[in-house]
Structure 1
Amino acid sequence: MTATSKPRLLSLDVFRGATVAAMILVNNPGDWGHIYAPLEHSAWNGCTPTDLIFPFFLFIVGVSIVYAMESKAEVKANHSKMLWGAFRRMLILIVISLVTQLLFHPGFAHLRFPGVLQRIGLVYFISTLIYLKTTQKTRDVLLGALLVGYYLIMAYVPVPDTGKASLDPETNMGAWVDRMVFSTNHLWSESKTWDPEGLLGTLPAIATCLLGVRVGSWLKQKNNHDAVKVSWLFAYGIIAIVTGLIWDLFFPINKALWTSSYVLYSGGWAMVALALCFWLIDVQGHKKPAMFFVPLGVNAITAYVLSNYIPHYITNKKYFGGGNLYQLIFEPYIQPYVASALSGLLLVFIIWALMRILYKRNIVIKV
């Protein structure tokens, strides 16, 4: 736990905070049977606004790597310490995820090994290693290689179980790798045969983070005016979106597989969103309307972890009359879809209030 000291890019904190708020909202509806379509994930191929949240976060991780490490990275003697710090953070995120599961579902027999925090940790550590040990030109080449290489693996390499390449949920190469490495006892509980945060999908997820690194390096340049940076960031974002849509024609946009087309499509929208935030907040100075999201952005991981705990006391605990808070406050009085969404918003505000207390005391909890 540390006090904030270095100046931060306010638009990045706002973008991160809005992403965390959206993540909390879509993960905690009052009633899973009544969810507005934009607040649901795609059944398989395709992309809803909800499907953009996780890649936005990994993109932001990439931008943050540059802002946090650029000055220290210039001295190679610092690299070992920085890599150890990144490795330690990765381990802590993995442990937090596993401990959270064990608290709510005791026992190791069906403990899920892949997960959101696990992917964030792995991507963060590997991207930090790449950032510290390569030039931007090398990172650009590696980004392209990850996207093309993953496409070739998924679309053309025969899966041992079936003898042919597949992009279906249970028969794709990523699902096979996860079953071989983790066994079916330790995969996503809804399927037991594949996992949306699987091991092979970490490769294109790294590409998403490297897009963020590229954008962070671009924004940190001092030889371009902010207006020029915003214009090019918008342009690159639109190009990435269009390229992703073209690639979608033969390698479908798919969050669960984290396809290469999905990396470009979601990364393009992340560039557009960050460009808009940067222009409005850091360039034009419209800060007050966006300040709501800053407490969530400054303590993003803390907010996310709490969003796994607090709902337990809202949805699982029985209160007056034998109902949970959703059943007591929302369900009897409001149309089901509205009630379900309002319940999720209530949780966002509860966690925001807790993060605001930390923010007002200038506290950042770091893992």
Structure 2
Amino acid sequence: MAHSNNRLLSLDAFRGLTVAAMILVNNPGSWAKIYPPLKHAEWHGCTPTDLVFPFFLFIVGVAIVFALQSKKADLGSHSQLLGKAAKRGCILFLLGLFLALFPKFDFENVRIMGVLQRIGIVYFICAAIFIKTKPKTQLIIMTSILILYWILMTFVPVPGFGAPNLDKETNLAAWTDRLILTENHTWKSSKTWDPEGVLSTLPAVATGLFGILMGGILKSKEKLAAEKTAWLFSLGLVAWILGMAWGLFFPINKALWTSSYVLYCGGLASMILALFYWIIDVQGHKKWCKIFVAYGVNAITVFFLSAMIAKTMGMIKVNTNGEEVNLHTWLYNSFFTSWLSADIASLAWAITFVLFFLLLLWPMYKKNIIIKV
């Protein structure tokens, strides 16, 4: 598909930086050797890695505005737009489910939720809300979700455990995951809760709505570029501060996707997008961001391929010195740990893995090819 000249370059660059970061943190050389900023917070708190997924969902919200705003004015097209949004949401969900199933296709124990599954759900719900409502209503819905989730998580007793709490296995979201998904279909590292679980997807929708609201400012024809930048940055700063304040009694937590986490991450995303917009689209400094744009215009494609390649390397066996190891281990030991310290080797592998995709993405970018999911 040809690349559109009407795309917001700063948004593509921000999306590309985000998806490159997703691949980086998901593919260390060794999970036993990771620098702290590239790890998720143990529970409460927020590392740079914990910003990546909410940034992507924020970008999904912004992109919805740029894709649908001109079309939603035609009320007669709403059914068609909703149908297309549902189709895209289902495709994203099924792609995520396929990754969870590959290569064993064990349907009895497959993890139902996941990153692409959550993106698909958030995309459809946010697109539907955007198509059928105005910005004021969108703000009310987002605020209501954040307050409702706070009430559910901190005031509603947890069946079988008693008082409401935010502990890993006894909070309401974990109980909901076990009830709806069952332990056979949750995150394999816990089996008792899922970081992309059912109840915590509700505030993830609020993250997408945050992006829609900021996208509305960027898409506005009534504001000058400087005004848009100022609004985006100022509102982001306010949200970031509110998130930190709310975090004092409803802790910032990615696995639970707490309301404070939504505001904290959404605020940071808004400020970064304001910076990108001012530098790239307003001031015209575009050359430095082309590599990120190459990732950004095919973000879902490269994320899906990165997961597929990583899993495939784990399947392929190589005989070395009479010992059979998988291809990942052989490449990692042969070209990284053989001459680098363990921590640096692990990071170098991750960076190399990210840069590897430029061999595919750069020619696609130069030829203006975008694979739409």
TM-score after normalising by structure 2: 0.95
Hey, what does 1:236 align to over in structure 2?
A: 235
Hey, what does 1:48 align to over in structure 2?
A: 47
**Is 1:352 aligned with 2:358?**
yes
Hey, what's the Cα distance between the residues in 2 that align with 1:286 and 1:5? 19
Hey, what's the Cα distance between the residues in 2 that align with 1:20 and 1:255? 17
Describe how 1:1-367 pairs up with structure 2 within 5 A: 2-5=1-4, 7-314=6-313, 317-319=316-318, 321=320, 323-367=329-373
Hey, what's the Cα distance between the residues in 1 that align with 2:270 and 2:208? 12
How many angstroms does 1:309 deviate by?
Answer: 1.2
Letter in 1 for 2:239: A
Q: Judge conservation of contact 1:237–1:272 (CA < 8 Å) in 2.
A: yes
How many angstroms does 1:12 deviate by?
Answer: 0.2
**Stretches of structure 2 lacking an aligned partner (at least 5 in a row):** none
How many angstroms does 1:5 deviate by?
Answer: 3.4
SS in 2 for 1:251: coil
Hey, what's the Cα distance between the residues in 2 that align with 1:310 and 1:233? 37
Q: Judge conservation of contact 2:207–2:262 (CA < 8 Å) in 1.
A: yes
Letter in 2 for 1:120: I
How many angstroms does 1:170 deviate by?
Answer: 0.7
How many angstroms does 1:95 deviate by?
Answer: 1.3
Once the two structures are superposed, residues 271-328 of structure 1 have per-residue CA deviations (whole angstroms, 9 ceiling, x without a partner) of 1110110011001111001111111100110010011011234455444735521111
Letter in 2 for 1:277: F
Hey, what's the Cα distance between the residues in 2 that align with 1:231 and 1:312? 44
Runs of 4+ in structure 1 deviating by more than 6 angstroms, as ranges, are none
SS in 2 for 1:123: helix
**Stretches of structure 1 lacking an aligned partner (at least 5 in a row):** none
Hey, what's the Cα distance between the residues in 1 that align with 2:314 and 2:16? 24
Once the two structures are superposed, residues 188-240 of structure 1 have per-residue CA deviations (whole angstroms, 9 ceiling, x without a partner) of 00111000001111111011000100000001112221112112211111111
Hey, what's the Cα distance between the residues in 1 that align with 2:23 and 2:72? 33
Letter in 2 for 1:86: A
After superposition, the Cα gap between the structure-2 partners of 1:5 and 1:232, relative to the gap in structure 1 and judged at 3 Å, is: closer
Letter in 1 for 2:271: V
Structure 1 vs Structure 2: percent identity of aligned residues? 51
How many angstroms does 1:101 deviate by?
Answer: 2.3
Hey, what's the Cα distance between the residues in 1 that align with 2:118 and 2:288? 32
SS in 2 for 1:363: coil
Hey, what's the Cα distance between the residues in 1 that align with 2:210 and 2:98? 31
Once the two structures are superposed, residues 19-43 of structure 1 have per-residue CA deviations (whole angstroms, 9 ceiling, x without a partner) of 0000000000001111010000000
CA-based RMSD: 1.3
Hey, what's the Cα distance between the residues in 2 that align with 1:239 and 1:57? 20
Q: Judge conservation of contact 2:97–2:113 (CA < 8 Å) in 1.
A: no
How many angstroms does 1:124 deviate by?
Answer: 0.4
SS in 2 for 1:193: coil
Hey, what's the Cα distance between the residues in 1 that align with 2:159 and 2:182? 15
Q: Judge conservation of contact 1:315–1:325 (CA < 8 Å) in 2.
A: no
Q: How many residues align?
A: 366
How many angstroms does 1:162 deviate by?
Answer: 1.1
Q: Judge conservation of contact 1:316–1:324 (CA < 8 Å) in 2.
A: no
Hey, what's the Cα distance between the residues in 1 that align with 2:100 and 2:232? 39
